[in-house]
Amino acid sequence: MRRLISALAVTSCLLTGFPALTLADSLPGFTLFSGVKAENQLPFRLDFGGEANGWDRYRLRIPAQRMKLAVGQFAISYPDYYKGTFNPKKIEVRVKDKAVKLSEVKWDKEGKLISIFPEEPVPAGSAVELVFSDVHNPAFGGMYYFRCQVLSPGDVPLLRYMGTWILTIT
């Protein structure tokens, strides 16, 4: 009887672990020792699993409560050891599941910076999703910190920190 209960307990633990493994690539989970405070971690989704050397779509989200000011520019910086590629023509900003018209998207490969300029400022208090389609993930997996900064229209031209997406490529 004891063996049966032990076997049943181990089996149930294994089966409960599988859904957690499959969800691991979809949204950030609990991150230990990241160096980024929990309140500064932003949610994201990697649509195609975040596999090394594979093609993917990044959905980088900024919750409405973080958007305290209107935004005229998004600046996404990433570490120099991230060796993936982006297609600036396949980057979009979505508010309430609707695409915002963009005047320009610049990818500074040397500076490790993607600048996104909406035609009209994104209103304060909006939940925003930055969608990076046609991304080629780095050949080697790792943890990559994508920092989001914004510039408000008419504001002093200093970028304000919004948070960090901690992407894991496996």
pLDDT per residue rounded down to tens, the chain (170 residues): 566 555 555 555 444 444 444 344 444 544 444 566 778 899 999 999 999 999 999 999 999 999 999 999 999 999 999 999 999 999 999 999 899 999 999 999 999 999 999 999 999 999 999 999 999 999 999 999 999 999 998 867 788 999 999 999 99
- One-letter amino acid at 39 equals E
The pLDDT score that the predictor gives to residue 36 is 66
Whose CA is closest to 52, among 140, 136, 134?
Answer: 140
The pLDDT score that the predictor gives to residue 19 is 42
As a whole number of angstroms, the distance between CA 57 and CA 80 comes to 20
As a whole number of angstroms, the distance between CA 128 and CA 54 comes to 26
Fold of the domain spanning 2-169:
Immunoglobulin-like (2.60.40)
**Domain ranges across the chain:** 2-169
Two tokens, residue 121: 């400022």
Half-sphere exposure of 105 (CA within 13 A, CB side): 16
The pLDDT score that the predictor gives to residue 115 is 98
Residue whose tokens read 């149930």? 12
